[in-house]
Amino acid sequence: MADKDDDFMEGEEAAGGDAKEGVKKPLFASAMIMQILKWVAIILGSLLFIVTVVVVTVNIMGVGQQKTDRVAESPEYETVVPVLGWYTGIVELRGVTVDTKTYVIKMLIGYDKADPTMEPAIAERRVQITDMLLTWFSKQDGSFLVSITNRDEIRETIKAEINHMLEKPIKDIRFESFQILDF
């Protein structure tokens, strides 16, 4: 009986051994596929989680911000500066401001170069333009004139005053010299 038990045990081992060897190969391949699928699922889940957190965070933090629209291009910010004709007939202006500072200013008047009537029109009004400029600068405070940040405002004001005198508008005012002196 012991032989039978041994044979049974041997047969069982043999049958079990064959069965285990036959099963190992398919189990190894399917286990490998399962590991790959598991890691792919983990990576995809992590990416989905990260993207969701980023989108939610950006939406929460961006709720109070206003959407910015593109600003229309202004003619003041033109990249190409137009070529102008320059009237140089205004003499160097000298005078005293309200606070007794002396000004010495040489000014040029820019006009549309393509318009042949502009230079004679400015020349006809030269005396009136010069008088207006002397009066305007004499009414100003020296500290206002000295400040470089006011220079554009000064140009625009003078340009508007000259344009009131002429039929066609001038385009620009520039200074060849602009000095405010304490005497």
The domain limits of the chain are 1-68, 83-182
27 vs 108, more confident: 108
Distance CA 119, CA 156 (A): 20
Helices (H), 62-125: 118-124
- Here the tokens at position 79 are 């990249």
39 vs 18, more confident: 39
CATH number listed for the domain at residues 83-182: 3.30.479.30
Lowest pLDDT segment from 69-73, 78-82, 135-139:
69-73
For residues 9-31, give the mean pLDDT: 56
Mean pLDDT of the chain: 83
- Specify the pLDDT at position 2: 53
Q: Residue 87: which H helix or E strand, with range?
A: strand 84-87
- Specify the pLDDT at position 36: 92
Residue 126 binned pLDDT confidence (cut-offs 50, 70, 90): very high
Q: Residue 180: which H helix or E strand, with range?
A: strand 172-182
The per-residue pLDDT for range 52-75, each reduced to its tens digit, is 998 888 888 876 566 666 666 666
5 vs 35, more confident: 35
